[in-house]
Amino acid sequence: MLDTNIVNLDTGSTTISASEIEALAGRLRGSVLEPGDASYDDARSIWNAMIDRRPGLIMRCAGASDVVHAVRFAREHGLLVSVRGGGHNIAGNAVCDGGLLIDLSQMRSVRVDPSIRRAWVEPGALLADLDKETQAFALAVPTGINSTTGVAGLTLGGGFGWLTRKFGLTIDNLISADVVTANGEVLRTSLSENPDLFWAICGGGGNFGIVTAFEFQLHQVGPQVLSGLVVHPFAAARSVLKAYRKALETAPDELTCWVVMRQAPPLPFLPAEWHGKEVIVLAMCYCGDLQDGEKATAPLRSIGMPIADVVAPTPFVAWQQAFDPLLTPGARNYWKSHDFTELSDKAIDVLVDAIGRLPGPECEVFLGHVGGAAGRISTDATAFPQRSAHYVMNVHARWREIRMDRPCIDWARDLFDAARPYAAGTAYINFMPEDETDRVEAAYGANYQRLVEIKRKYDPLNVFRMNQNIRPRAQVRAA
């Protein structure tokens, strides 16, 4: 090992001697990686291929003690820090340029106790890891819709998906968490232990420390759910969206239906003449009794004249992976997002117009259907405040070639701007790209000032700043 220059919190650099790095490596169960090491590029590569950053040093942690050593080392030297869990976040904050990357991706243990319906999850676990362990007992945590997403990042931002309307957000099912704070102290957090920190990590992102263990409440789900896709020609988009909106007015909490608008991929159940043509897809999941699900999904499945209807009993684990082939690593991605309390006719017009101008075959817009149980919790119960939103729009620009950066990003931004007058004004931080730091305060609304105070208490130097950052503002003193 050689002496290494690492970017510090003052945006300068600090020289770390080879002997210090060697001593650190000797204290870890995991490993220390430098540029040129065999696993270095793997450790710095994440889902969004637009992010190509080179940390000065990577600490691959094998357990909580490694995280403590990494944080204390960073604090001792005043280093810029980023934290990688699953590496799926759109903003790419998991990786810093020139600083210290604390890599949790090897910490993927999931332990389930079916007798008390609890799961204990390490921060490198993916949704697929959690789903497979819990579904062995026909249990589940409400999480997201892409099984390669990291549990940690999803949870810290809020977390919503197919089970949210029935069981709440992911954070609504968090019982406790172990957090390594900026001073290298390990704190257990729950409603009764360090409750202010627990409240903050329930939606406040990675601003307050590194979670090394999550404890979740589990719910009876599956092993089969009634789920699948109903695909319509895009020419019927306006009528489909209005009928969709109407059908959801009486939908039970067990039913969730999302809308996806894009060019049709070559799915085996679609006639070949539809491949590559614009379609509107109703993706639905009923997580209760299958016969009840047939009745509950009938209003949605009776809309219009669909090209295909492949809604059927499906293993929940398989449904959780259904969209994975469309979201594999290696593509360039840019997102823009709005919350909607209602899907107005004018908002529908904006969406339909944008799909008529898709810049590429992998670009899409989806509407996440939320509300239900998640909407019956007060806005100040957790840091995550958007309890009144009924839909979340994600404009997902996705492409392969650098020359397409500008047209794809411009398309996403134009749609975002056009939809703004009909949106709630809040935002889901997990969907915010790196250029949206100006939306952080609005995303938290009335909860923001409390988050600032908690940030000041637990991370006054803003060590954990590679995120949708909540800055620890200087306290105003009375004259």
Tell me which of 103, 132, 165 is where a domain ends. Answer: 103
What is the dihedral sign for C-alpha 470, 472, 473, 477? Answer: positive
Cα–Cα distances in angstroms (integers) from residue 66 to residues 14, 16, 39, 63, 104, in the given order: 21, 18, 18, 5, 10
Q: Let me know: does 131 contact 320? Beta carbons within 8 Å.
A: yes
The reported pLDDT for the residue numbered 11 is 84
- CATH number of the domain enclosing 426: 3.40.462.20
Looking at the structure, tell me whether residues 130 and 240 fall in a common domain. no
Looking at the structure, tell me whether residues 29 and 151 fall in a common domain. no
Q: Is 159 helix (H, G, I), strand (E, B) or coil?
A: coil
Q: Let me know: does 118 contact 141? Beta carbons within 8 Å.
A: no
Both ends of the chain: CA-CA distance in Å?
54
In a domain, 455, yes or no: no
Looking at the structure, tell me whether residues 386 and 289 fall in a common domain. yes
Largest CA distance in the chain: 74
- Rama region for 11: left / alpha / beta (φ>0; ψ in -120 to 50; rest): left
- Rama region for 202: left / alpha / beta (φ>0; ψ in -120 to 50; rest): beta
Q: Let me know: does 315 contact 224? Beta carbons within 8 Å.
A: yes
Alpha carbon distance 368, 351 (integer Å): 14
| pTM flag (> 0.85) | yes
Looking at the structure, tell me whether residues 383 and 288 fall in a common domain. yes
Looking at the structure, tell me whether residues 122 and 240 fall in a common domain. no
At 412, which amino acid appears? Answer: A
**Rounded average pLDDT per 10-residue block, the chain, 479 residues:** 87 93 95 95 96 97 98 97 97 97 98 98 98 98 97 98 98 98 98 98 98 98 97 98 97 98 95 97 98 98 98 98 94 97 96 96 97 96 93 97 98 98 94 94 95 98 97 57
The reported pLDDT for the residue numbered 1 is 61
In a domain, 456, yes or no: no
Residues of the domain holding 367? 224-437
- CATH number of the domain enclosing 162: 3.30.465.10
Q: Let me know: does 152 contact 87? Beta carbons within 8 Å.
A: no
In a domain, 461, yes or no: no
In a domain, 444, yes or no: no
Q: How many helices (H) and strands (E) does the chain have?
A: 14, 21
In a domain, 476, yes or no: no
Instruction: Compute how many other C-beta atoms are within 10 angstroms of the C-beta atom of residue 215.
Output: 17
In a domain, 231, yes or no: yes
Q: Which positions ≥6 away from 380 have C-beta within 8 Å? A: 446, 447
In a domain, 252, yes or no: yes
Give the rounded distance of the alpha carbon of 204 from its chain centre.
12
The reported pLDDT for the residue numbered 474 is 47
Looking at the structure, tell me whether residues 264 and 298 fall in a common domain. yes
Number of domains the chain contains: 3
Q: Which helix or strand (DSSP H or E) is residue 23 part of?
A: helix 18-27
Alpha carbon distance 169, 148 (integer Å): 18
Is beta strand 308-309 parallel, antiparallel or unpaired with respect to 224-233? Answer: antiparallel
Q: What angle do CA 466, 467, 469 make, to 5 degrees?
A: 100
Please report which residue ranges of 175-227 form alpha helices under DSSP H: 195-201
In a domain, 475, yes or no: no
The reported pLDDT for the residue numbered 475 is 45
Q: Let me know: does 200 contact 168? Beta carbons within 8 Å.
A: no
